[in-house]
Structure 1
Amino acid sequence: MLALDIGTEFVKALIFRTVPGGEKVRGEILGVGKTRQKSGNMQSGAVSDISGVIETSREAIISAQKKSGIKKVKKSIIGIAGELVKGTTTTVHYERSRAESQINISELKTIINRVQLKAYERIKQQISWETGQDDISIKVINAAIVDIRIDGYQVKNPIGFQGKDVSISIFNAYAPTIHLGALNTIADELGIDLISIAAEPYAVARSVDYDDVLDFSAIFIDIGGGTTDIAVVRNGGLEGTKMFAFGGRAFTKKLAQELEISFEEAETLKINYSGGRLGFDVSSRIDEIFENDCNVWLGGVELSLAEFAEHDVLPSKILLCGGGSALPGIKKALASQGWIKNLPFAKTPIVSFLQPKDVVRIFDSTKELTNPQDVTPMGLANLALDISAEEKLMAGILSRVVQNMEE
């Protein structure tokens, strides 16, 4: 199988195979390919030059194939990012006319359909408002049941239960059809069989195993080249995702501008700075150059999290990943006290990094995946295992409702 992370700065390709591991299938990484995007291929996480991205992706895939010894990839998953990729959890409360009767599959489908119709209208209105276009076409790319309650009692599967009040919460990620069309064209040209296009913040949030931990809460922040992706998990359920167009490339441009050097030279300097390979004087100078941009980036995080803070306190665990997270000023900005006062955190947040070893069910035989920027493609591989495995009853019902909405 292939996990393809088409980022603003790099295309990363992971070739992996499924390995039986008891109840849960595991994935073993066999080959890794990484190719830098050419200027103009991507804009803020979205494809802007299809032929250019195809060429870069092909290089990354061929590199991974050579290392793995695998000539033909059977199935693949591609990640999607960008400001117009939206993720939100919608809850519908349903009052049953006959509380004494048992809930059956037919009734459950009806309830789930109501949730999905409500979610679709909500997201469509939001994207229309942001773009100023009323007729923008969108599609569901990921859907997952977050919470089911019957008369206030939480259940995993409501089939067979009795009760009057049923509430179901479903997370949905949507993307504009134009973006999805570009990725489908890329997949067709590369000759790969797509099993899914996945919202990258959704994949990152699912990369940590919290399915059976009802009190798990965290904020995931993935800082890529063109965008910052945020996912909020509260009490074991994915509440929503946000993205804004500010990533590592903005810092590189600022460095190039201030020091009057080329973008390529600035990128190399930034990487050495992030890796602690520069002298004290040079590092201090770059600290000063980046200080304002770090504050601007932090403002974007604050605005994004404010929308999750309207009804409940925010999780106090912040998990960072992505190439941009290596910048020293990022963690320093998140650890500052000023912005925290404006948001309802239960306690001072603890900031840490997501590492490849934290991604569940994926192990790296190549030993090439070593830092937080490798978490996103590994998260896509982990998600592919779920999609390709035999679907559970609830996930199956949700999947069929989504398919029916698209027909």
Structure 2
Amino acid sequence: MENNNIAVGLDIGTTKIVAMIGRKNEYGKVEILGVGKSKSLGVHRGVVNNITQTIQSIQQAVQEAEVAAGEKIFEVTVGIAGQHIRSLQHSDYITRSNSELVIEEADIDRLINQVHKLVMLPGEEIIHVLPQEFKVDGQAEIKEPIGMYGGRLEANFHVVVGQVSSIRNIGRCVKSSGLQLEGITLEPLASANAVLSQEEKEAGVALIDIGGGTTDLAVFKDGIIRHTAVIPFGGNVITEDIKEGCSIIEKQAELLKIKFGSAWPGENKDNEIVSIPGLRGREPKEITLKNLSKIIHARVVEIVEQVYVEIKNYGHEEQKKKLIAGIVLTGGGSQLKHLKQLVEYITGMDTRIGYPNEHLAGDSDDDIASPLFATAVGLVMDGLKRQERKFAERSEQMSSENNENSEESIEDITISKDEVVKERRSFLDKLTERVKEFLDNAE
């Protein structure tokens, strides 16, 4: 981007593609300059299945955002999700050659790189290795082992795995749309950054992002992400059920769901009826709202129960892993009436709807603060963070060049620069580089 303090989030969803341009204001809040939205035609359950259509949809959304913001877009931060994402728990250890020296960043890097060598299924690649907690010489529950003495360093890891071809296809679409890939972020993480507070992440919370094609789950406890899952169902299957159950076309089913849909059948009286115009002069159809909510209820219960199985897999019933802050619902699907009550009824956990207004500037448009845009806001925040990192690294470099006269200070700065880079080069930065490299070589 030419304008240094501007970042662009590109959310490639199953129902819509959103391009969002934002910058940080003087209070450190995110100010949204422009939003572009287009119908997503080439994406199914979070996975690109038609490159040409996806490119067209991206270009349309980007153009709209450029006009709204009066800025030209060059680089974007893209979210990855989709039914191919899965996660697993893994423990690993390294033995240090000299336990007289304190544990350094390099030791942790060595341990993480060892996890990256895990053998995966064909076509899968590890995209995300997150240390949960460390053990040093058998001493457990260490959050930060750097600076401690010890011979054996072990850790539990949360490993996220994805289909590499699906990620490359997204990269291909972005590049063919005339854009640079600035970064790749896991969508459940982006949504979590936008709608959760630090207190909730510490207390323990499950974020459920209900999109069109998939439902993403991210579980946090003690400020660390503990579990992620992508369930291959979303709002679209509910629309599909209404379409089949009421014998109407998709457009009408979607409108019915949004206007009259409820996840709780008891809310509607038996005599509440909505009339739908028939096709090409056919008789109009009459549908009872009770029937409509029964259809919706059956499918929503299935989605929520699958998510709850994943929350149980994390182990939330153990006292130590209890999610005190309960559940936060976000994404377009979370706007379904009475969904909050249904989720509380099924899971027995406190539930709220998550709006991405926590980090937005006060004068932001109400539409942008809708759960519909949670992922896009999170991607903009991620893009802004990346820029701050780049800026910090550049400043480090410049100050090291200015201090070339004094050898001592040069050493100090080189060390601190390395620390900055090491601490900040995350798994997703490495993944972005690999995808960029692959696309460059594939030209």
Into which bin does the TM-score normalised by the smaller protein fall? 0.7 to 0.9
Between the two proteins, the alignment pairs up a number of residues equal to 375
Q: What is the Cα deviation at residue 88 of structure 1?
A: 4.4
SS, match of residue 195 in structure 1: strand
Q: What is the Cα deviation at residue 400 of structure 1?
A: 10
Is there any run of 5+ residues in structure 2 with no aligned partner, and where? 1-6, 274-288, 394-419, 438-443
Partner of 1:138: 125
Q: What is the Cα deviation at residue 224 of structure 1?
A: 0.5
Q: Quick one: which of 297, 301, 304 aligns to 2:303?
A: 297
Cα distance change, pair 147–208 in 1 and its aligned pair in 2 (3 A): farther
Q: What is the Cα deviation at residue 394 of structure 1?
A: 5.0
> Following the alignment from structure 1 to structure 2, what is the Cα–Cα distance between the partners of residues 115 and 243?
22
The answer to whether the 8 Å contact 2:38/2:61 transfers is yes
1:175 aligns with 2:172: no
> Following the alignment from structure 1 to structure 2, what is the Cα–Cα distance between the partners of residues 6 and 404?
16
Cα distance change, pair 103–3 in 1 and its aligned pair in 2 (3 A): same
> Following the alignment from structure 2 to structure 1, what is the Cα–Cα distance between the partners of residues 363 and 12?
20
> Following the alignment from structure 2 to structure 1, what is the Cα–Cα distance between the partners of residues 179 and 91?
36
The answer to whether the 8 Å contact 2:261/2:296 transfers is no
Deviations 1:43-83 (A, max 9, x none): 1111111111111121111111111111x224211112211
Cα distance change, pair 311–98 in 1 and its aligned pair in 2 (3 A): farther
SS, match of residue 248 in structure 2: coil
> Following the alignment from structure 2 to structure 1, what is the Cα–Cα distance between the partners of residues 151 and 11?
45
Partner of 1:344: none
> Following the alignment from structure 2 to structure 1, what is the Cα–Cα distance between the partners of residues 244 and 95?
60
Partner of 2:343: 334
> Following the alignment from structure 1 to structure 2, what is the Cα–Cα distance between the partners of residues 207 and 233?
14
1:395 aligns with 2:395: no
Partner of 2:380: 381
> Following the alignment from structure 2 to structure 1, what is the Cα–Cα distance between the partners of residues 218 and 186?
11
Within-5 A mapping of 1:271-350: 271-274=258-261, 281-282=272-273, 283-309=289-315, 312=318, 313-316=321-324, 317-328=326-337, 330-337=339-346, 340=347, 348-350=348-350
Cα distance change, pair 370–208 in 1 and its aligned pair in 2 (3 A): closer
1:33 aligns with 2:36: yes
Cα distance change, pair 401–292 in 1 and its aligned pair in 2 (3 A): closer
Is there any run of 5+ residues in structure 1 with no aligned partner, and where? 129-134, 341-347
Within-5 A mapping of 1:343-358: 348-358=348-358
What is the one-letter code of the residue matched to 1:309? G
The answer to whether the 8 Å contact 2:129/2:158 transfers is yes
Deviations 1:11-61 (A, max 9, x none): 11101124465xxx65321001122223xx221111111111111121111
Q: Which deviates more, 230-239 or 289-298? A: 289-298
The TM-score with structure 2 as length reference comes to: 0.75
Within-5 A mapping of 1:2-401: 2-19=8-25, 26-38=29-41, 41-70=42-71, 72-88=72-88, 90-96=90-96, 98-117=98-117, 120-121=118-119, 124=120, 128=121, 135-140=122-127, 142-148=128-134, 150=136, 151-152=139-140, 154-156=142-144, 158-208=145-195, 215-274=202-261, 281-282=272-273, 283-309=289-315, 312=318, 313-316=321-324, 317-328=326-337, 330-337=339-346, 340=347, 348-358=348-358, 360=359, 365-390=364-389, 392=420, 394-396=422-424, 399=427
Cα distance change, pair 86–325 in 1 and its aligned pair in 2 (3 A): same
SS, match of residue 388 in structure 1: helix
Cα distance change, pair 145–380 in 1 and its aligned pair in 2 (3 A): farther
The root-mean-square deviation of aligned C-alpha atoms, in Å, is: 3.3
The answer to whether the 8 Å contact 1:231/1:241 transfers is yes
The TM-score with structure 1 as length reference comes to: 0.81
SS, match of residue 183 in structure 2: strand
SS, match of residue 207 in structure 1: helix
What is the one-letter code of the residue matched to 2:385? D
> Following the alignment from structure 1 to structure 2, what is the Cα–Cα distance between the partners of residues 298 and 321?
13
Rg larger in 1 or in 2?
Answer: 2
What is the one-letter code of the residue matched to 2:76? S
Cα distance change, pair 152–95 in 1 and its aligned pair in 2 (3 A): farther
> Following the alignment from structure 1 to structure 2, what is the Cα–Cα distance between the partners of residues 16 and 100?
49
What is the one-letter code of the residue matched to 1:395? E
Q: What is the Cα deviation at residue 137 of structure 1?
A: 3.9
Q: Which deviates more, 242-251 or 286-295? A: 286-295
| Aligned residues with identical type, % of pairs | 24
> Following the alignment from structure 1 to structure 2, what is the Cα–Cα distance between the partners of residues 363 and 146?
35
Q: Which deviates more, 391-400 or 41-50? A: 391-400
Q: What is the Cα deviation at residue 306 of structure 1?
A: 3.4
> Following the alignment from structure 1 to structure 2, what is the Cα–Cα distance between the partners of residues 148 and 362?
38
